[in-house]
């Protein structure tokens, strides 16, 4: 997207997301422009996504997913969501799923891909502006989003987390 074509709402969202600092959320480190393209530079976090740890045998063999480690992953992910939901303005992730949860070898967890995030104070979010409404991954969507086409709320993130 050309910077000149980036609307004000999108730039406000990106700026807000770049200010988020939580140990369990991948941070936006800088914003820039290269060849007239908006560049978002993210924190580097050497990890695997939770989906791969759970379902890819070559990766899952590298992790010991005992009850304590699974509790820790869930707890850290819930801390990230709580931070977003209590943020002012409230931020709703809208695509909580195992592939957006990163886990390193020490079982430190970081929630990523806030690209679908919706800031409560902004009527038009980045994705709803571009795609016209419903966003997220169907398999992890809260029923009220998928079936009733209602707007996303913090409760929808909690449903997806579950």
Q: How would you classify the pairing of strands 37-42 and 28-34?
A: antiparallel
Predicted confidence at residue 7, as pLDDT, reads 65
Cα 58 from Cα 81, distance rounded (Å): 29
Q: Where are the domains of the chain?
A: 46-161
pLDDT digits (tens, 9 = 90+) for 67-95: 999 999 999 999 999 999 999 989 888 88
Contact call for residues 80 and 20 (beta carbons, < 8 A): no
Q: How would you classify the pairing of strands 101-103 and 48-49?
A: antiparallel
The predicted model gives 32-44 an average pLDDT of 84
The predicted model gives 140-145 an average pLDDT of 74
pTM, whole model, 2 decimals? 0.80
List, in sequence order, every residue forming a beta bridge with 25; answer none if it has no partner.
111
Instruction: Say whether 56 is catalytic.
Output: no
Structure token digits, residue 88: 């002012």
- Single out the catalytic residue among 66, 68, 95, 157: 95
CATH architecture of the domain with residue range 46-161: Orthogonal Bundle (1.10)
pLDDT classification of 135: cutoffs 50, 70, 90: low
Least confident of 19-33, 91-105, 131-145: 131-145
Least confident of 1-15, 17-31, 81-95: 1-15
Work out the mean pLDDT of the chain and round it to a whole number.
81
Predicted confidence at residue 14, as pLDDT, reads 81
Res 46 pLDDT > 80: yes
List, in sequence order, every residue forming a beta bridge with 109; answer none if it has no partner.
103
Res 147 pLDDT > 80: no
> How many CB atoms are located within 10 Å of the residue 96 CB?
27
pLDDT digits (tens, 9 = 90+) for 83-131: 999 999 898 888 899 999 999 999 999 999 886 555 444 443 333 323 3
Structure token digits, residue 134: 């419903």
């Amino acid at each position: 997207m050309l910077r000149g074509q980036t609307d004000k709402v999108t730039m406000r969202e990106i700026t807000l997301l770049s200010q988020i600092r939580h140990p369990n959320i991948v941070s936006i480190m800088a914003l820039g422009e290269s060849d007239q393209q908006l560049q978002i530079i993210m924190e580097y976090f050497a990890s695997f996504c939770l989906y791969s740890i759970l379902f890819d045998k070559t990766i899952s063999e590298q992790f010991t997913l005992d009850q304590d480690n699974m509790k820790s992953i869930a707890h850290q992910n819930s801390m990230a969501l709580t931070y977003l939901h209590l943020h002012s303005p409230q931020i709703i992730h809208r695509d909580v799923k195992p592939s957006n949860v990163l886990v390193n070898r020490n079982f430190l967890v970081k929630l990523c891909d806030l690209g679908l995030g919706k800031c409560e104070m902004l009527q038009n979010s980045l994705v709803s502006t571009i795609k016209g409404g419903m966003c997220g991954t169907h398999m992890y969507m809260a029923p009220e989003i998928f079936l009733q086409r209602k707007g996303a709320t913090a409760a929808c993130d909690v449903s997806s987390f579950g």
